Amino acid sequence: MTTLSNHVPDPRLITAYAEHQEGPLHRVNPWTKVGVVGALVLAVTVIDSLFILAGLYAATLLTYGVAGFPYGRLMYWYTLPLLFVVSVAGPLAFLEPGVAVGGALDTPVGELSVTWAGASLFGELTCRSLSVVTFTLTATMSTRYADIAYLLGRLLPRPIDQVALLTYRFTFVMIETLEDLVKGVLARGASLSEFWANRRIYARILGMTLLTAIERSERLVKSMEARGYNGDITLYGDVSRPPAREIIGVGVCYISVVVYALTAVYEVVSI
pLDDT tens readout for residues 94-111: 777 766 776 665 555 556
pLDDT at 3 exceeding the cut of 70: no
Task: Report how far residue 58's alpha carbon sits from residue 53's, in angstroms, rounded to the nearest whole number.
Answer: 9
- Rounded alpha-carbon distances, angstroms, from residue 117 to 54, 131, 200: 16, 21, 40
The type of residue at 228 is: G
Task: Report how far residue 154's alpha carbon sits from residue 34's, in angstroms, rounded to the nearest whole number.
Answer: 12
CA angle 158, 167, 23 (to 5 degrees): 100
pLDDT at 55 exceeding the cut of 80: yes
pLDDT at 34 exceeding the cut of 90: yes
pLDDT band at 204 (very low <50, low <70, confident <90, very high): confident
Task: Report how far residue 40's alpha carbon sits from residue 254's, in angstroms, rounded to the nearest whole number.
Answer: 9
- Rounded alpha-carbon distances, angstroms, from residue 52 to 119, 253, 269: 16, 14, 19
Distance of CA 12 to the CA centre of its chain: 15
Across the chain, what does the average pLDDT equal?
A: 82
Question: Between these two residues, 165 and 257, which has the higher pLDDT value?
Answer: 257
Question: Between these two residues, 225 and 241, which has the higher pLDDT value?
Answer: 241
Q: Which residues of 135-167 are buried (b: 16+ CB within 10 A; e: fewer)?
A: bbbbbbbbbebbbbbbbbbeeeeeeebbebbbe
Of 91, 89, 127, which is closest to residue 109 (Cα–Cα)? Answer: 91
pLDDT band at 9 (very low <50, low <70, confident <90, very high): confident
Q: What are phi and psi of 250, to 5 degrees?
A: -65, -40
- Rounded alpha-carbon distances, angstroms, from residue 251 to 40, 105, 246, 248, 258: 12, 49, 8, 5, 11
pTM given for the model: 0.79
Task: Report how far residue 209's alpha carbon sits from residue 174's, in angstroms, rounded to the nearest whole number.
Answer: 7
pLDDT at 250 exceeding the cut of 50: yes
